[in-house]
């Protein structure tokens, strides 16, 4: 008798990953931001400000509502801020995360996991004239488990 092979499990779904880089459609800012000479930027450069109260916003259309991990990328520069304020708009309101941009530059940094509608929105707020705040890229990754 020939053994019947076990069924092959379906492959795990590939999570949606959407990146919004500075200057892409879906970005906007208030006050004064300019091109940064910082090293290790995502893609082709980043932006910075030294204006207290300046904001940089990334907005992405997501294929469906659900849980998403949100990552932020910033470039390296000696005057980066130890206290960048990041506001994540989620289905329950707005969560604020404080980010030290003096460390972990040039890579994706997890900001948190949030329930999002079909729009992902992250706003970076500059909180100092003494330090520079970097706006580079945001990544939304669907949680499939």
pLDDT at 113: 98
CA dist 115 and 129 (Å) reads 33
Residues 75 and 105: their CA atoms lie apart, in Å, by 5
The pLDDT value recorded for residue 99 is 97
pLDDT for the residue numbered 1: 67
Q: What are the sequence ranges of the domains in the chain?
A: 17-51+63-142
The CATH fold assigned to 17-51+63-142 is Jelly Rolls (2.60.120)
Best CA proximity match to 140, nearest among 36, 44, 30, 64: 64
pLDDT in tens, 67-100: 999 999 999 999 999 999 999 999 999 999 999 9
In the chain (145 residues long), the average pLDDT of successive 10-residue segments reads 77 85 96 94 94 95 96 97 97 97 97 97 95 97 90
The pLDDT assigned to 116 comes to 98
> What is the predicted pLDDT for the residue at 11?
75
Q: How far apart are CA 4 and CA 61, in angstroms?
A: 46
Which is nearest to 114 in space by CA: 68, 50, 145? 68
């Amino acid at each position: 008798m020939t053994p019947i092979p076990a069924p092959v499990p379906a492959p795990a779904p590939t999570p949606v990953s959407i990146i919004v880089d500075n200057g892409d459609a879906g970005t906007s800012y208030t006050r004064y931001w300019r091109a940064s000479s910082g090293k290790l930027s995502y893609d082709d450069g980043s932006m910075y400000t030294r204006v207290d109260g300046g904001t940089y916003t990334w907005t992405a259309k997501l294929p469906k509502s659900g849980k998403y991990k949100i990552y932020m990328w910033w470039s390296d520069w000696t005057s980066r801020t130890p206290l960048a304020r990041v506001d994540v708009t989620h289905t329950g309101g707005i969560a604020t995360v404080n980010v030290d941009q003096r460390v972990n530059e040039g890579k994706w940094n997890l900001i948190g996991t949030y329930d999002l509608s079909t729009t992902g929105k992250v706003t970076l707020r500059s909180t100092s004239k003494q330090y520079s705040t970097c706006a580079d890229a945001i990544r939304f990754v669907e949680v499939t488990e």
